[in-house]
Amino acid sequence: MTDHLTIALAQINPTVGAIRANLDRVRDARAGAAQRGADLVVFPELVSTGYPPEDLVLKPLVLDLVEQSVTALAAETADGGPAMLLGTPWRLAGQLYNAVLLLDMGRIAAIRLKSDLPNYGVFDEKRVFVAGPPPEPIPFRGMRLGVMICEDMWTPTATQTLAEGGAELLVVINGSPFEVDKAGVRVDLAGQRVAETGLPLLYVNQVGGQDELVFDGASFVVGADREKVAQAPAFCEYLLVTRWQRGANRHWLCLDSEQASPITDLAAIYQAMMVGLRDYVNKNRFPGILLGMSGGIDSALTAAVAVDALGADRVHAVLMPSPYTSSESTEDAIEASNLLGCKLDTLSIEPVMTAFGSVLAPVFAGTDADITEENIQSRLRGMLLMALSNKFGAMVLSTGNKSEMSVGYATLYGDMCGGYSVLKDVYKTTVFKLARWRNLNLPDGAEGPAGRVVPERVLTKPPTAELKHDQTDQDTLPPYDILDDILECLIEHEMGSAEIVARGHDSDIVNRVWHMLDRAEYKRRQAPPGVKITRRGFGKDRRYPITNRFLSVLA
């Protein structure tokens, strides 16, 4: 029986499908942990394949490679170095499980299976995995580890089973995506499990971007007294080493602690956007990004995130003025690009507008100009950006925000063009807050400049699409503080009209916003992926029918 144990929590950034590369990252982390005297290294959920692998794990060739590679990795633990708890898909008796394997002494020493498969929001694990039984403790170095996989910690069942089976330390491996305020929820849930069992809990989480999901890491340890005794930083790979001693009452105590500084809400959102964009571009091997720089707040903030994530040399901004583009917008677009140090080209769309007008004149004869001509301008800009993307290989970055996407204030095949969107799940009021925050702060790991990056006038002028003279967003939309509160009620909380009106909103405005939200579903289905920030981002989190005749109006 051992009375001392050193456990390292390895929050690493795997790439879905890169099985050999992911396990090389595991090897590197194990080597680093060995140098620091670790007995055990704990890795995130499904780290061998990356998380979430979705239907990739339905391919037998993928599972064959996983099993060959993990078995070879297990053999390497015969070197006397640290054991590993490794998350991986695993086949047993013809069934596929989300599993955790103890690799020790040159072999697969134990296998435990995820029993609580999440099937809500972005999660659909029941589609590909079979649920395992409640886990039993794993014997290790003369003590017993209570190992769980992510969702198993969110209810008391697994921890109670482990405690009754004689577990002495609870260990949770996770692929838990970032959401605003979710870090506190995780710690609170861990505290509940500790209170129910009296056992300390170690929590390791994946870090990095995978399509629309961003994993924030932020691994931690909660002691038997429910106090957080160790905390890894968020949004970066990190090896958190913890040293444990069995006390006189046979309870395990964490002897030393490492506490990373907390991260504020705006800083966390900005980091999530940076990490999500950086990994999407790099993991998909794009040389850089292109974006339309309009002189407005959305493109200015998107450009700042892109430069911070990738560096100014990989960001190409394009100003595409029309006859309706104000001199102030042109000046602001130039200033924003200069502040960031990124390339800016100017391509006027006026000659193309004239050409389109000539082509369409015979069939448009006798009609008045309306939103059709406005949308043509947006689509011309999208066409120019896509032409540059095709020619030079950079990915077009869409600049629309969640408020606009909610109510359909975006043009299909126009400003919705792009391969990715960093503001997709960010409301307009939060866009302004983030821009002001970035002007005062340089995010950790940012490649952009310190100081102001969004021009002051961009923060104060009324938002406008500038598709006709003297146009502002509020010509057709409620003020954004009102619109965003109503949208949050409808999207994040599924509130009815009466509840929202009771908050002080006008009933006609509430019903108009609800109607616009429902009517725009077909557009959102065609939007590019983007970073998930809130509890209910558009996409897998919120799945509404396009054909939908439910009436939302108040009686």
Task: Tell me the catalytic residues.
Answer: 45, 114, 150
* CA atoms within 13 Å, Cβ hemisphere of 460: 4
CB atoms within 10 A of CB 60: 9
Number of H helices, E strands in the chain: 16, 20
Residue showing tokens 């008796």: 93
SS (H, E, C) 202-225: EEEECEEEECCEEEEECCEEECCC
CA dihedral 201, 53, 272, 172 (to 10 degrees): 0
Q: Residue 8: which of 248, 148, 28 has the closest Cα?
A: 28
Residue type, 124: D
Contact yes or no for 220/231 (Cβ under 8 A)? yes
What is the SS3 assignment for 440-490?
HCCCCCCCCCCCCCCCHHHHHCCCCCCCCCCCCHHHCCCCHHHHHHHHHHH
Cβ-contact 223, 245 below 8 angstroms: no
Which parts of 141-240 fold into alpha helices (H)?
156-164, 182-197
User: DSSP of 288-344, one letter per residue?
Assistant: -EEEE--SSHHHHHHHHHHHHHH-GGGEEEEE---TT--HHHHHHHHHHHHHHT-EE
* Closest by CA position to 148, among listed 114, 199, 107: 114
**Distant-in-sequence, close-in-space partners of 109: CB < 8 Å, separation ≥ 6:** 83, 102, 103, 138
Tracing tokens 């095949």 back to the chain, one arrives at 413
Helix, strand, or coil (residue 129): coil
Three-class SS state of 415: coil
Closest alpha carbon to 85 in 33, 153, 160: 33
Give yes or no for a contact between 145 and 168, defined as CB atoms under 8 angstroms apart: yes
Q: What is the dihedral of CA 12, 17, 18, 19, to 10 degrees?
A: 80
In sequence order, the 6+-apart residues with CB closer than 8 A to the CB of 320 are 292, 346, 347, 348, 349, 380, 381, 384
DSSP class of residue 510?
A: H
What tokens does 445 get?
């790991």
* Angstrom distance (rounded) from CA 64 to CA 21: 16
DSSP 133: P
